[in-house]
């Protein structure tokens, strides 16, 4: 995220907002900290930065910390007493009607609900309507550059190759009746990451049978399970190139440690329902893109409704997808109308996963792809799509 004043003010005018009020204490509002380029700066007092739709930004800063803000293209207004802070903030907002802040109605989008209730009360007492800054944040924090998109595409292609390598390793060991464990597969994937100068924040994951029914299960060197014949196997891998503009890829594929003929019909049916749900999300995006603004919650509904109609939605216990950028779980819109109501607009440059799953104590299934919003519309970047469980026998 960067302090793009021209871009921010253009967005404020487009949204018919009088300004964006960034308020922080002890770096708790990480959106404000990142936007203003204050990451790593030790701050012990509160500040308030008002970016108007027109004109120079103004910033209330404590007198003893003024030097920490002097590099910013803002007019600094020092204060020490809280009464002065309040009176100056009242002056800055005089005549303003609609102002963006890090606020979420009913707290349904906690990623941006970062301003304390008391400050919100004070701003509202001035007759100012507070609008969530969620779309502004998404527009300036998670829209990837061309270089970042290129990095993601390389990461996505590498993950597909590594997935194929892991599949071949499992098939070979099983064919030779050699022991292979979840941890062996994880170790192989990590080695492949290292050979390609790729990094990951944790994981990856290989889950067998009931372990696959736990969406956040991760084997360790000390605790893992062998891959025995005729078991469902889930592989989830995510990584990025090891440089500042490295953007993650993130995929999940399903395997069966036996022959094609031995895959249970119930497994085929459940995975087929996931494929249909995943595809419904992609088709919803493609069919509606350019017709109107689209939000993450709508894509979640399009996916989840397929599983509702199939009578298995109770087995789908998490959101449909997450934002992806330099972090596996990025700061942009998520594909979510379950855990949160993500009403942020999907914009060109946004990257996210679509990953419906069905889980039980005995097994788990998930299919995960990455989708990029381009100026021309949505694009799946992790092709080919998995359409059936892969037999390892």
pLDDT tens, 104-151? 999 999 989 999 999 999 999 999 999 999 999 998 878 999 999 999
pLDDT for the residue numbered 133: 96
Write the burial class of residue 213 (CB in 10 Å: 0-12 exposed, 13-18 middle, 19+ buried): buried
Mean pLDDT score across all residues of the chain: 96
Q: With 70 as the cut, is the pLDDT of residue 2 above it?
A: no
pLDDT tens, 204-241? 999 999 999 999 899 999 999 999 999 999 999 999 99
Residue ending a domain, among 141, 156, 187, is: 141
Backbone angles phi, psi at 208, to 5 degrees: -110, 140
pLDDT tens, 72-107? 999 999 999 999 999 999 999 999 999 999 999 999
Domain extent at residue 279: 146-391
Q: How far apart are CA 296 and CA 301, in angstroms?
A: 9
- Whether residues 94 and 189 share a domain: the answer is no
pLDDT for the residue numbered 223: 95
- Whether residues 218 and 365 share a domain: the answer is yes
* Cα 162 to chain centroid, rounded: 23
273-307 burial, b for 16+ CB within 10 Å, e for fewer?
Answer: bbbebbbbbbebbeebeeeeebbbbbbbbbbbebb
pLDDT tens, 53-65? 999 999 999 999 9
Give the Å distances, CA to CA, from 214 to 17, 199, 217, 218, 343.
Answer: 44, 24, 5, 9, 28
Q: With 80 as the cut, is the pLDDT of residue 323 above it?
A: yes
Percent of the chain with pLDDT over 90: 95
Residue ending a domain, among 112, 141, 170, is: 141
Q: With 90 as the cut, is the pLDDT of residue 1 above it?
A: no
Q: How far apart are CA 310 and CA 258, in angstroms?
A: 27
- Whether residues 88 and 227 share a domain: the answer is no
- Whether residues 184 and 314 share a domain: the answer is yes
pLDDT for the residue numbered 98: 98
- Whether residues 135 and 210 share a domain: the answer is no
């Amino acid at each position: 995220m960067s302090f793009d004043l021209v871009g921010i003010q253009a967005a404020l005018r487009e949204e018919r907002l009088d300004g964006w009020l960034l308020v922080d204490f002890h770096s708790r509002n990480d959106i404000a900290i990142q936007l203003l380029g204050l990451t790593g700066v030790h701050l012990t007092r509160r500040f308030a930065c008002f970016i108007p739709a027109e004109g120079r930004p103004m910033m209330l800063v404590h007198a003893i910390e003024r030097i920490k803000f002097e590099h910013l293209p803002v007019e600094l207004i020092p204060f020490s007493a809280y009464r002065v802070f309040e009176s100056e903030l009242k002056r800055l907002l005089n005549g303003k009607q609609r102002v963006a802040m890090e606020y979420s109605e009913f707290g349904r989008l906690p990623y941006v609900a970062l301003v304390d209730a008391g400050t919100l009360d004070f701003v509202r007492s001035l007759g100012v309507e507070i609008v969530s800054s969620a779309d502004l944040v998404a527009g300036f924090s998670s829209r990837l550059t061309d270089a970042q998109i290129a990095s993601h595409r390389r990461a996505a292609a590498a993950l597909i190759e590594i997935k194929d390598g892991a599949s071949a390793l499992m098939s070979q060991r099983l064919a030779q009746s050699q022991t292979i464990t979840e941890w062996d597969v994880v170790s192989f994937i990590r080695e492949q990451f290292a050979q390609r100068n790729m990094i990951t924040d944790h994981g990856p994951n290989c889950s067998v049978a009931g372990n696959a029914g736990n969406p956040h299960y991760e084997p360790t060197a000390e605790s893992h399970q062998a891959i025995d014949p005729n078991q469902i196997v889930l592989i989830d891998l995510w990584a990025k190139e090891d440089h500042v503009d490295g953007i993650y890829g993130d995929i999940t594929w399903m395997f069966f440690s036996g022959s094609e003929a031995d895959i249970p019909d119930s497994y085929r049916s459940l995975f087929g329902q996931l494929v249909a749900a995943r595809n419904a999300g992609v088709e919803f995006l493609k069919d509606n893109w350019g017709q109107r603004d689209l939000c993450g919650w709508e894509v979640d509904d399009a996916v989840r409704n397929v599983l509702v109609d199939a009578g298995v939605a109770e087995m789908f216990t998490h959101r449909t997808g997450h934002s992806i950028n330099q972090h596996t779980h990025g700061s942009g819109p998520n594909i979510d109308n379950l855990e949160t109501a993500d009403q942020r607009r999907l914009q060109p440059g946004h990257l996210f996963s679509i990953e419906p799953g069905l889980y039980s104590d005995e097994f788990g299934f998930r299919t995960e792809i990455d989708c990029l919003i381009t100026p021309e519309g949505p694009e799946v970047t992790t092709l080919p799509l998995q359409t059936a469980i892969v037999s390892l026998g």
